[in-house]
Amino acid sequence: MTTFALVPGAGTDTWYWRPLERELTRRGHRAVPVELPCDDDAAGLETYADAVVAAVGGADDLVVVAHSFGGFSAPLVCDRVAVRGLVLVTAMVPLPGESAAQWGDATGAGAALAEQDARDGRDPDDVVGLFYHDVDESVANEALRHERDQSTTPWTQPWPRAAWPDVPTRYLLCREDKLFPAAFVRTMLARRLRGVVPEMVPGGHHPMLSHPGALAAAVLGR
Closest of 14, 56, 17 to residue 37, by C-alpha: 14
pLDDT of residue 182: 97
Q: Which residues contact 188 (CB under 8 A, 6 or more apart)?
A: 93, 107, 108, 109
Helix locations, 36-126, DSSP H = 45-56, 70-77, 100-107, 109-120
pLDDT of residue 204: 97
CA distance 192 to 180: 15
Please, what is the end-to-end C-alpha distance for the chain in angstroms?
Answer: 16
Q: Does domain 3-219 fall into CATH 3.40.50.1820?
A: yes
pLDDT of residue 163: 97
pLDDT of residue 58: 86
> For strand 30-33 and strand 3-7, is the pairing parallel, antiparallel, or unpaired?
parallel
pLDDT of residue 222: 77
pLDDT tens-place string over residues 21-73 = 999 999 999 999 999 999 999 999 999 999 999 999 989 899 999 999 999 99
CA distance 6 to 17: 7
Report, as ranges of residue numbers, the positions in the chain whose pLDDT lies below 50: none
